[in-house]
Amino acid sequence: MVQTLRMLESNVDNKRYDEPNSLNQAIHHTDWFRWKDAIKVEYDSLIEKKTWELTSMPENQQVITGRWCFKLKKDRNGQILKYKARWVAHGLKQEERVDFVETFAAVVKPMLYKCSFRVSVKCGYKIRQMDVLTAFLYGFRMKSYTLSNLIFLSSTQSLFVVYAWLYMGWSKLHSSDIRPPLISLKNWAWSALSLTIVFLSQKIGSFALLYMWMTYFCLLLTNHASQISRTNSAPDSKWQTWGKYLTT
Amino acid sequence: MTNLGEVSHYLGMEMDVEVGKQIFLRKTVYLKKIRERFQMTDCKPVSDLMNPSVANSPLPSDQQADWATIKCYQSAIVFLIWPAVHTRPSISYSVGVPNQYFANPGLIYCNLVTPISRYLAGTLELGITFRSDATDELVAYTDSDWAGLKDGQKSTGRYAFLLCWGPVSHQSKQNATVALSSIEAEYMATTEAEKEAL
């Protein structure tokens, strides 16, 4: 028996590497073009839903990094149906009682679906499945979160990390020390660094990359402008009410 | 949002649906997968889930299992809990007993896991069925043993709720306190079931 269990353990290490664990593994995967499409779908979906905006880095704020998760969806016989990629935040970078106070994990209770199956059997209903591409829970955010973003270049398979800052400024708007997020020297330094990385990785001279980079940079500038105008022109009503609500 | 058509598998279970007649839930693919993973593809099926002599003997303190064995034991139990909760109520007690010694099993409790896998190997196709021609009432069963496990002398109560001949809710749980008589143990099991019913 003990021998059997030892055998089991050696088998646990020989995991199947159908699903890459990181972006790097996915790039070297044989099905990379499929994973790439999956990443694109997820990225486009996040852009379409306007889930984030670029802002400057607030001071004394921990940056929460993220990574890509890859998953194969299979049918009941184990055949591959779909390649899925999802961008997730590193929740482990948060600290309990500092960044969050309570957690919640959604768990399905067997009784729930079994009772609904029973209803469908009794009434002769058909059961259909559906798939929601990007689902969100609506809720009030009590705290601002800063996430690092990973921009991904499809054309060249090269990638570079750009620190873009997602800043839901609700909880900060009510406080007195509003600092308009101007482009500081630090941001310029980061931009220059990223630019260097891009050029190094491409051995200098790819116009497409340069073009994309400039577009991104313009985006950064316009976002800063909109952020400033919003903080200055909305001193009352909605934002202050939100602030009051969030502090109580 | 896309329509994936009629349901054929759900939460890792295969579903055989005959509209208006019956729904059959089973976990054959999952069980085959974990059987491969634990290298038990050619094991001989058994009909006994537990060895009574093992289950009834107290935990000997001198037989301590080594680290690797404990790790394997734990991973095997984790894989067995899922079918026990969803489609195989029959193994919930035999999974629950070794699960109580999850952190520190002696050698003797490691021996409780293999019979479950071998039993499952013989009954891969079994699952739970909801039939439309069954009665419409909620049927509940409770039962309890009395000091079933010699280690701690506590009783284990269990219940099952049936709708359309399919168990919608079932549990096998060791009581928190020691029962002085078998009728007290039965009362404890009934209380758990009533709590679930409410």
Taking only the tens place, the pLDDT of each residue in A155-171 is 333 333 333 333 333 33
Distances (CA, A) of A101 to A89, A142, A143: 18, 11, 11
The CA distance from A86 to the nearest CA of chain B, in Å, is 16
Q: Which span out of A9-23, A148-162, A184-198, B23-37 was modeled with the highest average pLDDT?
A: B23-37
CB contact under 8 A, B3 and A130: yes
Measured between alpha carbons, how far is A148 from A166 in angstroms, rounded to an integer?
7
Record the tokens describing residue B168, joined without a space. Answer: 């919608």
Q: Are strands B13-18 and A128-131 parallel, antiparallel or unpaired?
A: unpaired
Alpha helices in B41-151 (DSSP H): 52-56, 67-86, 92-99, 107-110, 113-122
CB contact at 8 A, B100 and B174: yes
Is B150 part of the contact surface with chain A (CB cutoff 8 Å)? no
Length of chain B: 198
Nearest to A168 by CA among A90, A110, A246, A103: A246
Nearest to B56 by CA among B120, B152, B144, B142: B152
Which residues, at least 6 apart from B176, have a Cβ–Cβ distance to it below 8 Å? Answer: B154
pLDDT for the residue numbered A6: 56
What pLDDT is stored for residue B143 in this prediction? 92
Buried-exposed string B139-164: b where 16+ CB fall within 10 A, e elsewhere:
ebebebbbebbebeebbbbbbbbbbb
Q: Which of B19, B72, B131 sits opposite A9 (nearest CB)?
A: B72
A6–B72 C-beta distance less than 8 A: yes
Q: Are B39 and B146 in contact (CB under 8 A)?
A: no
Instruction: Kindly tell me if the per-residue pLDDT of A61 is higher than 90.
Output: no
Question: In terms of pLDDT, which residue wins out, B3 or A118?
Answer: A118
With the C-alpha atoms ordered A168, A173, A177, A178, is the resulting torsion angle positive or negative? positive
Size of interface A-B (CB pairs under 8 A): 115
Q: How far, in Å, CA of B75 to CA of B95, rounded?
A: 12
Q: Is B64 on the interface with A (CB under 8 A)?
A: no
3 state SS of A246: helix
According to the model, what pLDDT value does residue A30 have? 85
According to DSSP, the residues that pair with A73 across neighbouring strands are A82
| Residue A242 C-alpha from the chain's centroid | 25
| Residues in chain B closer than 8 A to A77 (CB atoms) | 29
Cα end-to-end span (Å), chain B: 37
What is the per-residue pLDDT for B62?
A: 61
Instruction: Report the pLDDT averaged over residues B174-185.
Output: 90
- CB of B2 less than 8 A from some CB of A: yes
CA distance A196 to B119: 62
**From B85, which residue of chain A is nearest by alpha-carbon distance?**
A110
Q: In terms of CA atoms, which chain A residue is nearest residue B70?
A: A5
Report whether B161 contacts B140 (CB < 8 A).
yes
Q: Does B29 touch chain A (CB under 8 A)?
A: yes
* B69 vs A4: CA distance, rounded Å: 9
Chain A residue numbers with beta carbons less than 8 Å from the beta carbon of B65 are 2
CB atoms within 10 A of CB B86: 21
A71 has a chain B CB within 8 A of its CB: no
Distance between CA A26 and CA A24 in Å, rounded? 5
Q: How many angstroms separate the CA of residue B89 from the nearest CA in chain A?
A: 12
Pairing of strands B9-10, B127-131: unpaired
Phi then psi for residue B169, to 5 deg, are: -150, 130
At A104-147, the pLDDT tens digits run: 887 888 888 888 888 888 888 888 888 777 766 665 555 555 55
Q: What's chain B's average pLDDT?
A: 85
Amino acid letter, A217:
F
Per the DSSP assignment, residues forming a β-bridge with A187 are none
Q: A117 to chain B: which residues are within 8 Å by CB?
A: 23, 25, 130, 166
User: B11 contacts in A (CB within 8 Å)?
Assistant: 108, 113
**B88/B91 Cα distance (integer angstroms):** 6
Contact between B29 and A130 using a beta-carbon 8 Å cutoff: no
Parallel, antiparallel or unpaired: strands A128-131 and A54-55: unpaired
- Specify the range with the lowest mean pLDDT, choosing from A3-17, A223-237, B50-64, B178-192: A223-237
B141 pLDDT above the threshold of 90: yes
Residue-level pLDDT at B56:
62
Here the tokens at position A181 are 């997020």
Q: What is the pLDDT of residue B183?
A: 92
Q: Give the separation between CA B134 and CA A120, rounded to whole angstroms.
A: 14
Label residue A66 left, alpha or beta by phi (over 0 means left) and psi (-120 to 50 means alpha). beta
Residues of B with Cβ-Cβ distance to A129 under 8 angstroms: 3-7, 10
B198 close to A (CB below 8 A): no
Contacts of B6 in chain A (CB under 8 A): 126-129
Name the percent of chain A lying above pLDDT 90. 0
- Is this prediction's ipTM beyond 0.90? no
B170 versus B11: which is more confidently predicted?
Answer: B170
Answer whether B129 touches A (CB < 8 Å).
no
Distance, C-alpha B1 to centroid of its chain? 36
CA-CA distance, B87 to B126, in Å (whole number)? 8
**A30 alpha-carbon distance from chain centroid:** 25
pLDDT at position B147: 82
Report how far residue A32's alpha carbon sits from residue A38's, in angstroms, rounded to the nearest whole number.
10
Please list every residue in chain B whose beta carbon sits closer than 8 Å to the beta carbon of residue A120: 23
Chain B, 82-111: which have a CB under 8 Å from a chain A CB? 85-86, 107, 110-111
Pick from A174, A179, A148, A183: which is nearest to A52 by CA? A148
Beta strands in chain B (DSSP E): 2-6, 9-10, 13-18, 22-26, 127-131, 139-144, 156-163, 166-174
